[in-house]
Amino acid sequence: MRDHHIGMIVPSSNLTMETELPRMLRAREEIEPDDRFVFHSARARMQHVTPEQLRAMNAQAERAAAELADARPDVVATACLVAIMAQGPGYHCTAEDAITAALRAEGADAPVVSSAGALLSGIAALGARKVAIITPYLKPLTQAVADYLEDAGVEVVDALSLEVPDNLAVARLDPADLRDHWKKLSLAGADALVLSACVQMPSLPSIQPVEDEAGIPVLSAATATTHRILTELGLEPRVPGAGRLLAG
C-alpha cells in the first residue's frame, strides 16, 4: 500500500476542490486499495469572481507553492480555472512554470497540474474537437473561457452562463440542477460536454447520469484535474461513475 500526497492551491472561498477530488480518489481506493491519497491545501485569497480578484489571487500562487513544498507532495494541483484562462491564451503554461519554479526553489520536485491545463488535456484525451460548456460565470468570463479553448484548437459550439459572481454562492449551487441545465445547450456537432468549466461549481453527482442521457462524453474541470493528477502519478486514470474520461 502506498500513500500519494497531493498538494492543492485553492482560492480561499473554494469549497468544492477539497470535496470532489477527494471523493473521486476515495472511490478509486475502493477498487484499487493499494493506492491511497492524502491531501494538503494552501489557500489564496479570493471571494468574488472579478478580474481584479482573479489577478490578485494569481499573484499569491508562488507563496502558496512554497508553503506546500515543505510537505514534499508527490503532485501539486492549482485550481481556479477562470483565474488562469482570464489572463489570456496559453497562460496555464506560464502559471504552471511559475509554480514549478517556486517548488524547485524549496527543494520539492513535484509535477504541477493546473485545472485550466487539465481541462485541455482531458478534452484531448477524449479525442474531442468540439465541445459545449456550462459555467457559473458572468457572460464576459464565460467568453474568456470559450476564447481560451478556441485558441487551443477546441471549438465551443455552445455555452451556458449561470451568472453567479459570488464564489461561495457558486459552491452552494445544486449539482442536480445540471441535469436540466445541459438541455438548454445545442449539442449539434459536439464531441463532448463540459458540465462544469469551474472547479468551484459542484457537478460530480451529475457527470455519469448526464453522460448516459446525452450520449456523448461528459467531463468537468474537476474530473479533468483528477485525470491529470492520476496520470502525473503514473496511475491508471480510473474512477467509477465519473464519466468516460475516468473510465480507465
C-alpha cell read off for 186 = 445545442
Nearest Cα neighbor of 77 from 243, 241, 218, 230 is 230
C-alpha cell read off for 37 = 491519497
* Contacting residues for 87 by C-beta, under 8 A, at least 6 apart: 54, 55, 58, 94, 95
Q: How far is CA 33 from the centre of its chain?
A: 24
* Angle, vertex CA 235, rays to CA 215 and CA 113, nearest 5: 80
| Residue reference for cell 492549482 | 78
Q: Is residue 182 within 8 Å of 156, Cβ to Cβ?
A: no
Task: Identify the H or E element spanning 27.
Answer: helix 17-31
Q: Is residue 108 within 8 Å of 69, Cβ to Cβ?
A: yes
The one catalytic residue in 80, 84, 171, 245 is 80
d(CA 43, CA 14): 9
d(CA 122, CA 152): 13
The one catalytic residue in 99, 132, 198, 204 is 198
User: Cβ–Cβ contacts within 10 Å for residue 11, how many?
Assistant: 24
Does 80 participate in catalysis according to the annotation?
yes
Catalytic residue numbers, as ranges: 80, 198
